[in-house]
Amino acid sequence: MENKLKRFIDAILETRKVWLLEAKEGFFAMLEDNDGEPYIPLWESEELAAKAAQGDWEGYTVTDMGFSELSHWLKELANDEIDIAVSPEADGEITAIPSHKFRTWLKPYDDHSYKEKDEGEDGDDFDYGEGWAQPWG
């Protein structure tokens, strides 16, 4: 397990991205362990991800995600209690990393190039009138 995790970390540090399988835009391959805990599988290379696109994942598209977007996404995954499975094996064996810990580790390498529009940032043009933000009294 240690060698697999080290290989994964070394590879993604070099490329500054991970690889995933995408069913359709925004919907990624997931798996569960024997206890029903959900995981998002990540691979360190396009080749390994493509090799995994078979069986239940046949027809999924191999896509990459940069560190900046991944860091943002890991926050959502942690909130949803979904962890990461590092390059899952064909036999179902996984090396798991909690999303929040992976995000903490990833943070120093995030270049903040990914900017997702915040909710409510769609140009609210409603005129609230003068003094709407003033305290009551």
Q: pLDDT-derived band of residue 107, with 50, 70 and 90 as boundaries? A: confident
* Length of the chain measured in residues: 137
* CB-based contacts of 121, cutoff 8 Å, min separation 6: none
- Most confident of the following: 24-28, 36-40, 89-93, 121-125: 36-40
Query: Other CB atoms closer than 10 Å to residue 46's CB: what's the count?
Result: 14
DSSP character for 56? G
Which pLDDT score, from 0 to 100, does residue 1 have? 57
Q: Using 50, 70 and 90 to split pLDDT, how confident is the model at 34?
A: confident
> Whole-model pTM?
0.78
Q: In what order do the strands lie in the sheet with 95-97?
A: 31-32, 38-42, 83-86, 95-97
Q: 4 pLDDT band (50/70/90 cuts)?
A: confident
Considering only CA atoms, which of 84, 8, 19, 11 is closest in space to residue 47? 19
> Which segment of 29-38, 52-61, 62-71, 116-125 scores lowest on mean pLDDT?
116-125
Cα–Cα distance measured from residue 52 to residue 93, given in angstroms and rounded to the nearest whole number: 13
**HSE, side-chain direction, 13 A CA sphere, residue 41:** 29
Q: How far is CA 11 from CA 8, 45, 102, in A?
A: 5, 8, 15
Beta-carbon contacts of 78 under 8 Å, excluding residues fewer than 6 positions away, are 98, 99, 100, 103
Paired tokens of 62? 């191999």
Question: Which residue in the block uniquely carries the two structure tokens 């009294």?
Answer: 137
Q: How many CB atoms lie within 10 A of CB 101?
A: 13
CATH number of 2-109: 3.40.1350.90
User: Pick the residue with more confidence: 124 or 117?
Assistant: 117
Residue 134 has pLDDT above 50, yes or no: no
